[in-house]
A and B are shown apart, each in its own frame.
Chain A
Amino acid sequence: MVDDPRAGGPGGGPGTLEPTPGGERDWLRFRDDPAPDEPVVTLDTFLDQSNASSVLIEAGDDVRRLAPVLDRVRLVEIDFPKFRDGRGFSSARVLREMGYEGEIKATGEVLVDLIYFMRRCGFDSFAPHVPLDRAEVEAVLNRYPHVYQHAADAAVPIWQLRHG
C-alpha cells in the first residue's frame, strides 16, 4: 500500500500553495529553462507568421501540421475547453513523437486527477483556469509506482522491468 502522501509527500506537506505574487504558479511548470513570454497565436496564424514562436493548439487542431516548422516552436499551449475533451492528450504525445522538446502547456479545464496522465503524454507545464491544490497535485503525481506502457515520458513499462 502507498502511504498517504498528504502526510508529507515530496516537496511539501498538506495545504494549498498560494500563487506567487506575480500570479504565476511556477510549481506547475516542470522545466528549468526560462518560460517563453511571447503570446501564443492560433495554429493557422503561427504557420503564416514565420517569426512566431508560441502556438495555441485548440481541440481539433492537427499538431502534425507543425512538423515543417518545429524548429522555431518554443511553446505549445494545448487547450482543454472542457475536461471531457481528451484530444489534447494525443496532441501532446504526437508532438513529443515528432521530436519536439520545448514546453507543452495545458490550459483550460485541467483537473488534478488528469495531471498525472498529462505529464506522461509530454505536458510539462499547466495553467488551469481553476487553481489546483499543490498537495493534491503532488499526491496524484506520485501515486502510481509503475506504468504498463510507453508514453512520452521516460517511465519504463512493467513489461520491460519484467524482462530486464
Chain B
Amino acid sequence: MYKYDQYDQAMVDARVEDFRDQTRRRLEGKMTDDQFKPLRLKNGLYLQLHAYMLRVAIPYGTLNSRQMRKLAHIARTYDRGYGHFTTRQNIQYNWIKLEDAPDILAELATVEMHAIQTSGESIRNISADQYAGAAADEIIDPRPWAEMIRQMTTFMPEFSYLPRKFKIAVIAAEADRAALRWHDCALRIVQNEAGEIGFEVFAGGGMGRTPFIAYRIREFLPTDQILSYLQAILRVWNRNARRDNIHKQRMKILVHELGEDEFRRQVEEEFQHFLALGEDFPQAEYDRIAAYFAPPPFETDLSEEIDRSDPDFALWADHQVAAHKAPGYAIVNISLKPIGQIPGDISAEQMELVADLAERYSFDELRATHAQNLVLPHVRKQDLHAIWTALHEAGLGEANLDLVTDIIACPGLDYCSLANARSIPVAQKIAERFADAERQKDLGELKIKISGCINACGHHHAGHIGILGVDRKGTENYQLLLGGSGDEETSQAKITGPGFDEAGIVDAVERAVERYREIREPGERFLDTYRRVGMDGFKEAIYG
C-alpha cells in the first residue's frame, strides 16, 4: 500500500499544527463558534448530541496493522474503547473532547493518517472497491488513481469553499461494490476495443433529501487526463451552483437543473482549458504511486482445498469469503454486524486482533467497506480456518455478509444532532428477529439500510429494503422503502406507504420478507422479485 514520503508527511504534520492553532484560537475565544465550525468540519470534527465526533480518513478504505493498532489506541485513550466504521470507509469516534483533538491528529500523523476533509463542504475521502488489488473480476487496481486524486484534492485552493460536500468513488470491475452511482462523481475503469484502459465517468449522484442516480457523462476518458477532468467538473459546479439554499447546493441539483447535456458541454469546455494548463500528474508520478500497489509476493502451488468438516466454519466460509485473483488465495470479509450489536462498531481489543490477523495472514493489509464491515484482502485458503477460529473467539465470526442482518445504519438519534429518529435500535431489533442462520441463508442476499433522518447517511435510498426515520408530531416514525440498490444496476427505493412505529417497522419488514418468500421464483433475490412484481406485489402483504 501507499507510503508517505517526506512531502506527504510534512503536509500532514503541518495540518496538525494548523488545527492546533485553530482550536487554540477557538478555546481562547478569538473565533466565534460559527467561524470555527467550518474549520473543524474540514478536519472531521462534528459537534454531536453528547460530545464531539472525530472522523478519521481511511483513503480508499485501505489500512495496515500499524494504523489499525493506532486506531485502537485512540479508541482506548481518547474515546470509550471503541470506534465506528462508516459508509465512506472511514472510522469515527463518538466521544471526543475538543481539546484532545489536536493530540489525536498528531498521533494519527505518526502512522500516516489524518482527518483532512472528512466532513464539511469539501472533497471527501475517496472511496473505492474494498476488494481492489485482490478481486478476481477487476481490470487493474484502481487505487493508484485514487491516491493521485487524494493528493490533488488535498487543500485545493480554488475549491476551498465548495457549495457542499463532494464525494468521489473509484472502481475497476464490472461488479459495483462501492455504490458508484450514488456519488457526486464516480469513476469506473474500463477497457476499450483497442485494449486501452480509461475511465467511465459518472456525475451528479447523491442521496440526501433529493436523491439522484449519477448520469454517465463520459464513456471513455484516458487515465492520464483524469485530474484535468475532475477539476473541470469541480469548477463548473463551484461557479454555477446555487448558494441561496443549502439543500439545493449539491452537484446533483446543478446537473439536474442544467440538464445532463448542458452540464456535460460545460465540463468538456472547461476540460479542454485545464488540459492546456498541464494539470495532470505525469506518467512518472503514476508509476511511483502504482509501485506501492504492486501485488504482494503471492505464493504459488497453494492448495485450493478448504476443509469444510466443521459445519460452523463451513457456513462462515460460504458467506464471508470472496474470490481472489491469485490461485490458492481468498478474500475474507469480517462482519461488524454481530446480532444485536451496533452496525460498524468495533472495540479496541477487536481492532488489535484484526490487526494481528492482517499482519500474520494478509500481507499486513486491511480494508474497510462502505457496508461497515472489514476485509482481509489476501489470505491463503489454507489459513481460513485459523482466521475464522480467531474471529469467532473475538465475537467477529458472524456469517451474514449481504444477508438480512448485515444492516447499514447511521448513528441516528443516539448520537447525531441532525437525526429525527433512532436507527441503531431498529437495526438491532431487525437483526434479532432474523437471527436464525437457516432463515438468513434461505432469504439470501437482502440489503437493509436504515437512516435516522432525510440526510440518508444510512443509505436507505439504496436499500433492497430501506428504512427512513422521521419525526411525526414528536414521536419517532419509520417509513418503509423497497427496491433500492447500490450495485451495478443502481436503483432508488420507493416508499411503500404510511409509516410505522418502532415495533411496527420490524413487523412490516418481516411481512415484506415473508411476501418475497411466498412469491419468489427459483434463484430470485428479494430485489429481483421486487423488480418483477413491483410495489403492488408487496403492498397488500405489508398493509393488509
Q: For the complex, is A62 an interface residue (Cβ under 8 Å from B)? A: yes
Q: For the complex, is B194 an interface residue (Cβ under 8 Å from A)? A: no
Are B239 and A62 in touch, CB under 8 angstroms? yes
Are A117 and B151 in touch, CB under 8 angstroms? no
Residues of A within 8 A of B443 (CB): none
Are B13 and A2 in touch, CB under 8 angstroms? yes
Among the 9-residue stretches B14-22, B172-180, B506-514, the one with 4 or more Cβ atoms under 8 Å from chain A is B14-22
Cα distance A150–B183 when bound, in Å?
A: 26
- Chain B: which residue is nearest A89 at the CB level? B158
State which residues 306-339 of B face A: CB under 8 Å: none
Among the 9-residue stretches A32-40, A47-55, A138-146, the one with 4 or more Cβ atoms under 8 Å from chain B is A138-146
Cα distance A121–B121 when bound, in Å?
A: 18
Residues of B within 8 A of A62 (CB): 239
Least distance between B75 CB and chain A CB atoms (Å)? 25
Residues of B within 8 A of A24 (CB): none
Are A162 and B285 in touch, CB under 8 angstroms? yes
Are A139 and B21 in touch, CB under 8 angstroms? yes
Residues of B within 8 A of A18 (CB): none
**Looking at B30, B38, B161, B273, which has the most chain A CB atoms within 10 Å of its CB?**
B161
Q: For the complex, is A151 an interface residue (Cβ under 8 Å from B)? A: yes
**Contacting residue for A149 out of B7, B10, B121, B156, CB 8 A:** B156
Are B22 and A113 in touch, CB under 8 angstroms? yes
Given contacts A84-B38, A97-B277, contact A143 B160 (CB under 8 A): no
Least distance between B404 CB and chain A CB atoms (Å)? 42
- Chain A: which residue is nearest B276 at the CB level? A97
Are B151 and A148 in touch, CB under 8 angstroms? yes
Cα distance A10–B18 when bound, in Å?
A: 17
Residues of B within 8 A of A121 (CB): 157-158, 160
Cα distance A139–B19 when bound, in Å?
A: 12
- Chain B: which residue is nearest A111 at the CB level? B35
Least distance between B87 CB and chain A CB atoms (Å)? 25
- Chain B: which residue is nearest A147 at the CB level? B155
> Majority SS of interface residues in chain B?
helix
Q: For the complex, is B386 an interface residue (Cβ under 8 Å from A)? A: no
Name the interface size band of chain B. 35 or more
Q: For the complex, is B279 an interface residue (Cβ under 8 Å from A)? A: yes
Are A86 and B25 in touch, CB under 8 angstroms? no
State which residues 33-58 of B face A: CB under 8 Å: 35, 38-39
Cα distance A28–B89 when bound, in Å?
A: 41
Are B7 and A158 in touch, CB under 8 angstroms? yes
Residues of A within 8 A of B544 (CB): none
Are A144 and B243 in touch, CB under 8 angstroms? no
Are A83 and B25 in touch, CB under 8 angstroms? no
Given contacts A93-B158, A158-B151, A162-B5, contact A86 B281 (CB under 8 A): no
Q: For the complex, is B207 an interface residue (Cβ under 8 Å from A)? A: no
Are B161 and A86 in touch, CB under 8 angstroms? yes
Are A59 and B157 in touch, CB under 8 angstroms? no
State which residues 136-155 of B face A: CB under 8 Å: 151-152, 154-155
Given contacts A90-B239, A148-B11, contact A85 B277 (CB under 8 A): no
- Interface residue ranges, B against A (CB under 8 Å): 5, 7-8, 10-11, 13-14, 16-18, 21-22, 25, 30, 35, 38-39, 121, 151-152, 154-163, 235, 238-239, 243, 273, 277-279, 281-282, 284-285, 288
> Can you list 22 A-B pairs, Cβ within 8 angstroms, ordered by A?
A1-B17, A59-B243, A60-B243, A83-B35, A84-B161, A85-B243, A86-B161, A86-B162, A89-B157, A89-B159, A89-B238, A90-B235, A97-B277, A121-B157, A143-B18, A144-B14, A144-B18, A146-B7, A148-B154, A149-B152, A150-B277, A152-B157
Going nearest first, the 6 A-B pairs with the smallest beta carbon separation are A86-B161, A120-B157, A117-B160, A117-B157, A158-B7, A151-B157
